[in-house]
A and B are shown apart, each in its own frame.
Chain A
Amino acid sequence: MINKIMTADQAVAGVQDGMTIMVGGFLGTGSPEVLMDALVRKGVKHLTVIGNDGGLAAGQPAGEFGGKTARGIGKLLEHHMVDHIIASHIGVNPMINEQVAEGTLHYTLVPQGTLAEKIRAAAYGLGGVLTPTGVATPMETELDELGRQKKVVEIEGKKYLFELPLFADYSFIRASVADKFGNYYCSKATKNFNYVMAGASKHTIIAPEKIVEIGEIDPDYFGVAGVLVEGIVEGEKKWQI
């Protein structure tokens, strides 16, 4: 029987300089920290990173619940491992605007709902999606993440942007509970991009907080099919504040 359980270092061993990766999470909530830490240990550079935002820097969010370390994609930014970030929001983690100003990072902004659908299109075999989001805004005229002009399609008098699928080499996902086949679910508001990113990359790696035996929990709880998952990494912990 195939064994998908591996260490975080084994899971990121194939990540090369210049690759494109997707990382689940929303301002760090639901990001796979053990996989980010392993990428930092590996020291891979010039990544293109797809995620909702740039995670958090150490101390964010401000106030009593701020994190002791950087979080999610924030760890990759802290170590200057990212050349291009494709995200819906880049204003929270200050490292993004700093590195953009230094000229070492560039960004492509994609509206949040569009970002999810572009990723979902890649995972589920669609040639793209038509969305009303972004019509008559800079999203209509600016080039997309690969420098392509967007098409505007008019259907029954209503305009839509034709948004193309967004693929990557690796999807790095945080699950709350997974079985040893890779079926998983994400608790509460940690789902965010952790469901659509499965299967949108050549390799899908999950870091569950808890790994159970096959058949141990009711399969109806699972949100994503383990058939999409190549690697299951142990050691992810509940976020500590």
Chain B
Amino acid sequence: MADLKARIAKRCAKEFQDGDFINLGIGLPTMVADYIPEDIQVTCHSENGFAGIDSVATAENLDVDIINSGGTYVTALPRVKYFDTAESFGLVRGGHVKATVLGAMEVAENGDLANWIVPGKKVAGMGGAMDLCAGCPEVIIVMLHTQKGAHKILKKCTLPLTAEKCVSKIITEMGVMEVTPEGIVLKELHPDYTLDDIKAATGCELIISPDLKPMEEE
């Protein structure tokens, strides 16, 4: 499982270019930062109030005035800019944060995303997720392809949405998919799986790209 998550995070890290300003969600999305190549400069947004997350703080370098959006004490890069919540989400809604990387409970073939609430279960709240999904030009979903076999990529979401038609790309252990006006296009398939495997694990039609490639890890 840990290997599959690392595979997903490594592949996602290839999505970014020198100069990008991005937001990484909690959990698997946070792992993506570990695989961004050293030779490109990517700035990570912490929605609670700064641009330029460095890494998790240690007892030696901890500053009680710096947490990330998960409440973890972190350090900031020398080029950091701190801001208040209004400016932070102005950057988000204004489309200045190029991409957000998030997990999902359900993604629909039209790009609808559900990842914040399960009716009847304990409520956590959306935090900044709805703003990020409504505002960022690219919403990249990183997740295991199914929930213990149950489909997560569907014709239509059954759970309340986080935002509609927002997802641009889905990266799982099985492959890389793009959400297009025609539907979900499989661009890369991991060599551990066949086309039949990934189709069976997907709850909507998968359009197979004419230039389908193997999903690269390195």
Given A132-B135, A136-B164, A189-B50, residue A91 in contact with residue B125 (CB < 8 A): yes
By the criterion CB–CB under 8 Å, are A188 and B127 in contact?
A: no
Does any Cβ of A come within 8 Å of B64's Cβ? yes
| Residues in chain A near residue B76, CB distance under 8 A | 188
Chain A contact residues (Cβ within 8 angstroms of B): what range? Answer: 35 or more
| Residues in chain B near residue A188, CB distance under 8 A | 49-50, 63, 65-66, 76, 82
CA distance A241 to B125 in the complex (A): 27
Q: Pick the contact of A91 from B59, B122, B163 — CB < 8 Å?
A: B122
Q: In chain B between 75 and 127, which residues have their CB closer than 8 angstroms to a CB of chain A?
A: 76, 82-86, 88-90, 92-93, 112, 117, 122-127
| Residues in chain B near residue A56, CB distance under 8 A | 71
Does any Cβ of B come within 8 Å of A116's Cβ? yes
CA distance A27 to B128 in the complex (A): 14
Q: How many residues of B contact A (CB 8 A)?
A: 46
Interface digits, A83-97 against B, CB 8 Å rule (1 contact, 0 not)?
000011111100001
Does any Cβ of B come within 8 Å of A191's Cβ? yes
Q: How far is the CB of A140 from chain B (nearest CB, A)?
A: 9
By the criterion CB–CB under 8 Å, are B65 and A111 in contact?
A: no
Interface digits, A111-151 against B, CB 8 Å rule (1 contact, 0 not)?
11111110010000000000111111111000000000000
Does any Cβ of A come within 8 Å of B40's Cβ? no
Point out residues on B near A: beta carbons under 8 Å.
Answer: 46-50, 59, 62-67, 69, 71-73, 76, 82-86, 88-90, 92-93, 112, 117, 122-131, 134-135, 160-164
Can you pick out 22 interface pairs between chain A and chain B where the beta carbons lie within 8 Å of each other? A26-B67, A26-B85, A52-B85, A53-B125, A89-B127, A97-B122, A107-B123, A109-B125, A111-B130, A113-B85, A113-B89, A113-B92, A116-B89, A117-B86, A131-B93, A133-B135, A135-B134, A137-B162, A188-B82, A189-B65, A189-B67, A196-B84
